[in-house]
Amino acid sequence: MELVELARYLDNYLRVAAVGDAAEAVNGLQVANSGEVTRVGVAVDLNEATVRLAAEQGADLLLVHHGLFWGGLRPLTGRHYRRVAELLRHDIAVYSAHVPLDVHPDVGNNSVLARALGVTIRSAFGDHHGEAIGVWGDLAVPREALRDRLATLLGAAVKLMPFGPVTTQRVGIVTGSGGSLIRQAAEAGLDSYVTGEGVHHAYFDAEELGLNVYFAGHYATETVGVKALAEHLAARFGLPWVFLDHPTGL
């Protein structure tokens, strides 16, 4: 498949131009190749390890959630040079989708994780760069059962701060570093909130606002979207794909 055709499709499908995001996300095609895509490698992060894995797996497109430019503009020296040099040497293109992948109703991190947990999605919540980034819905289970369901689904250790009801009812999800949105979860009338990570004082936010809060790992919670997007591309275009796992444990 032609790279330009696939990139155009992804731009439209993910609404890249319309979705607000941090400037350093640089959503869309970040690195071109010689023009063809025959195998897609998907990863949470663009780094030296995932570039190496893509080359080993024969992928000519690396589809990621966190792309090349999170530190802003930097000289192509040291590790920044090594990343780009290996991409060019192996003729691997890079397409990155950050908030556009978080918020997508079908393949987005939040919607995919919610459905996998059994949440009946009702609406969006939580402002991030002008986007309603999270989803919330109904799920009535013991709060420890939700913790265990998360751990099994993601293969990750889950930290539960048990300050909401013993049985969950209104559950919100913002994958990744969503700890700063605990207050917004409470304001949305939620009693339980699933995210990846947060800062130290997030514990007191959960305690004083009366929410069950689950930290399931930034990396782990954001593996679901890139996989769902790859499955979508495989179904639509017949493109084979492979998940390039490079977990951080964070």
Which residue(s) pair with 93 in the sheet?
Answer: 61
Q: Could you tell me what percent of the chain has a pLDDT over 90?
A: 97
**Sheet containing 93-96: which strands, arranged edge to edge?**
28-31, 93-96, 61-66, 40-45, 241-243
* CATH 3.40.1390.30 residue spans of the chain: 3-98, 104-221
Amino acid occupying residue 143: R
Largest CA distance in the chain: 56
> Cα(177)–Cα(79) distance, rounded to whole angstroms?
24
Predicted pLDDT at 71: 80
CATH class of the domain defined by 3-98: alpha beta
pLDDT at 72: 83
Report, as ranges of residue numbers, the positions in the chain whose pLDDT lies below 70. Answer: none
| 40 token code pair | 């897609």
pLDDT of residue 115: 98
Phi–psi pair at 46, nearest 5 degrees = -90, 115
Model-level pTM? 0.96
Burial (CB < 10 A; 0-12, 13-18, 19+), residue 115, is middle
Yes or no: say if 160 and 212 are a contact pair by the CB < 8 Å rule.
yes
The total of other beta-carbon atoms located within 10 Å of residue 30's CB is 20
DSSP 172-184: EEE-SS-GGGHHH
Q: Closest Cα partner for 1 from 32, 38, 33, 30?
A: 38
Q: For the beta carbon of residue 47, count every other beta carbon within 10 angstroms.
A: 17
CB 142 within 8 A of CB 117: no
> What residue type is assigned to position 177 of the chain?
S
Task: Output the pLDDT for position 193.
Answer: 98
Write down the pLDDT at residue 218.
Answer: 98
Structural contact between residues 47 and 246, judged by C-beta atoms closer than 8 angstroms: yes
The bridge status of strand 40-45 relative to strand 61-66 is: parallel
Phi/psi of residue 51, nearest 5 degrees: -65, -45
- CATH code at 104-221: 3.40.1390.30
Closest to 26 measured CA to CA, from 100, 124, 87, 131: 100
- Bridge partners of 36? 2
Please say whether the beta carbons of 240 and 39 come within 8 A: yes
Digit-coded pLDDT (tens) for 19-78: 999 999 999 999 999 999 999 999 999 999 999 999 999 999 999 999 999 888 889 999
Structure tokens belonging to residue 13: 């499908």
